Amino acid sequence: MTIENFTEDEHVKKDREFYTTGQVAEIFGVNFRTVIRWIQRGILQAHRLPGRGDHRISSNELARFAAENKQSFQTSTLSPKTEAARLPVALVIDDEPAVAQAISRALKSLHMTVEVAHDGFTGGFLLHKLKPNILTLDLKMEKIDGFDVLRIVKSHPDLKHTKVIIISGDTQENLSRANDVGADAVLSKPYTRAELANTVEKLLK
Amino acid sequence: MNTEKPLLKIVLVVEDDDCLKLSINRCLRAIDRNLQIEWVGSVDEAEAYLQTHTVSLIIADHGLLGFRTGLDLWNSNLVKTSRTPFVMISGYPVEYFVRQSTEMPLPPILTKPFSLSEFNTFVSGHFNSQKNEPEVVR
């Protein structure tokens, strides 16, 4: 399939190969009309759905745009005072929305600012944008290799302060392997809220 | 002796177009000749200025230098928490900014082209409201 013969049905089937302007706006923290302006200026390539005129942006194009313009979207506008008072930030990467929501709620109850990613692209972008204090990561996801994400976080100089908590229903062998790869904590599903809270508090100290 | 405080003190204008800057300058001087007008050309510059200065009014064009637009400045934490009166100027009508089927908080939008009296009425009117509540456009 090429962009020229793209149809909306294909988009629905192929979960997240293409993004709407609204989704792109959410990723970059801007208004959707700003994304349309990028398209009009030619700095972000998109195509229009036949008849409707809605724009769709491919994940490859989004990755290129994000990589080329990463510096422009760093959260560098906070004053030092605001930075100090900022709540700890957590990023939840889990491809099951219900599970991600449960983890998110638990972390918010610990007075954290929480962002959630269900796919590798959004997770990667948010990791670099937020540089979170805490990352919760499932190992067993359909399209994302949790071990790859863990290795990337542990080897990237910009993310050296990010503590990784593996929250997974995977085998004991793989959970131990996660420790060897560098996970800061491992929680086996099912886990209790108290266990998550204790783990986060220890890591944030 | 006139003991009234001036209506406007410091106005931050976020605009990169020189012609529009001239027009806005003329319009603001017609409201108050003693205004202090600060000029920046992008959202990044505006945010940098607002971190260290308090202003009485922000006037921002929708299309600006850099990646972000006047709407993104309106939505930024700095502007939201300071509750500074905000006017956005755009060549598009208000309806252009409304996403169909959703209510979306928008700043007051002055559509180009505008006359001096339209600017005066619009800016003075929105500045005089103490709380700069967003207009919810259906």
**pLDDT score recorded for residue A70:** 64
Under 8 Å CB pairs connecting chains A and B tally to: 35
Q: Per-residue confidence of chain B (138 residues) as pLDDT tens digits?
A: 444 444 558 999 999 999 999 999 999 988 888 889 999 999 999 999 998 899 999 999 999 998 999 999 998 888 888 888 999 999 988 888 876 545 457 888 999 999 888 898 888 876 665 444 444 333
The residue-averaged pLDDT of A55-79 equals 69
| Residue of A25, A144, A93, A86 lying closest to B104 (CA atoms) | A25
Nearest to B68 among A22, A30, A32 (CB): A30
**Distance from CA of residue A32 to its chain's centroid?**
19
**pLDDT score recorded for residue B96:** 84
Q: How many CB atoms lie within 10 A of CB A165?
A: 24
Task: State the DSSP H helix or E strand holding residue B78, giving kind and residue range, or none if neither.
Answer: helix B77-82
Task: State the DSSP H helix or E strand holding residue B74, giving kind and residue range, or none if neither.
Answer: helix B70-75
Nearest to B67 among A22, A69, A79 (CB): A69
**What ipTM describes this predicted complex?**
0.77
* Range with lowest mean pLDDT among A37-51, A119-133, A182-196, B30-44: A119-133
Interface of A with B in 56-115 (CB under 8 A): 69, 72-73, 77, 79
Cβ contacts of B71 on chain A, cutoff 8 Å: 31, 33-34
Residue A127 to residue A140: CA distance in whole angstroms = 19
Please name each of the domains of chain A with its CATH number.
3-72 (1.10.10.10), 80-204 (3.40.50.2300)
| Residue of A118, A196, A35 lying closest to B99 (CA atoms) | A35
Cβ contacts of B47 on chain A, cutoff 8 Å: 77
**Distance from CA of residue A127 to its chain's centroid?**
6
More confident residue, A196 or A2: A196
Domain map (residue ranges) of chain B:
10-129
pTM of the model: 0.58
Over chain A, what is the mean pLDDT? 80
Cβ contacts of B97 on chain A, cutoff 8 Å: 31, 33
* B67/A32 touch (CB, cutoff 8 Å), yes or no: no
Kindly state the tokens that stand for A19. 């993004």
| Residue of A95, A133, A131, A142 lying closest to A116 (CA atoms) | A95
| Superfamily for the B10-129 domain | Response regulator (3.40.50.2300)
Interface check for A176 against chain B (CB to CB < 8 A): the answer is no
Q: State the pLDDT confidence band at A129, using cuts at 50, 70 and 90.
A: confident
